[in-house]
Amino acid sequence: MEDIRKQLVLNKGSEKYIFRYEKGCEGQLLDALVAAATNNKIDFDWFDAAVLSFKLTQSLIHQADDLLYKDLNDPLQTYAQGF
């Protein structure tokens, strides 16, 4: 299986938070966001974790759409015709 590395980036003031992960390890990424949000030594809070988890969700939805419609020329037209 091909390893696909991805990343989520959050710019917050002068800080930049970069979370890199491999496809299929999204659960571990969420654990890392929780760990960062509970770490009092960095300026990363629960709102920041929520923003990045939303970005992750949007990315996963896009990937699912790509898989569902990869072989269709016009997915909306096909759906309207009932396949």
Residue 36: the pLDDT is 97
Give me the domain span that covers residue 15.
5-80
What is the tally of structural domains in the chain? 1
Q: How confident is the model at residue 63 (pLDDT cuts 50, 70, 90)?
A: confident
d(CA 24, CA 30) in angstroms, rounded, equals 12
Predicted confidence at residue 1, as pLDDT, reads: 47
**pTM for this entry:** 0.75
pLDDT of 48: 98
Residue 77 has a pLDDT of 60
Phi, psi of 32 (to 5 degrees): -65, -35
Dump pLDDT digits (tens) for 3-59. 679 999 999 999 999 999 999 999 999 999 999 999 999 999 999 999 999 999 999
Q: What residues form DSSP beta bridges with 79?
A: none
CA distance 46 to 39: 10
pLDDT class for 68, splitting at 50, 70, 90? confident
Q: What is the C-alpha separation between 78 and 10, in angstroms, rounded?
A: 38
Structural contact between residues 9 and 18, judged by C-beta atoms closer than 8 angstroms: yes
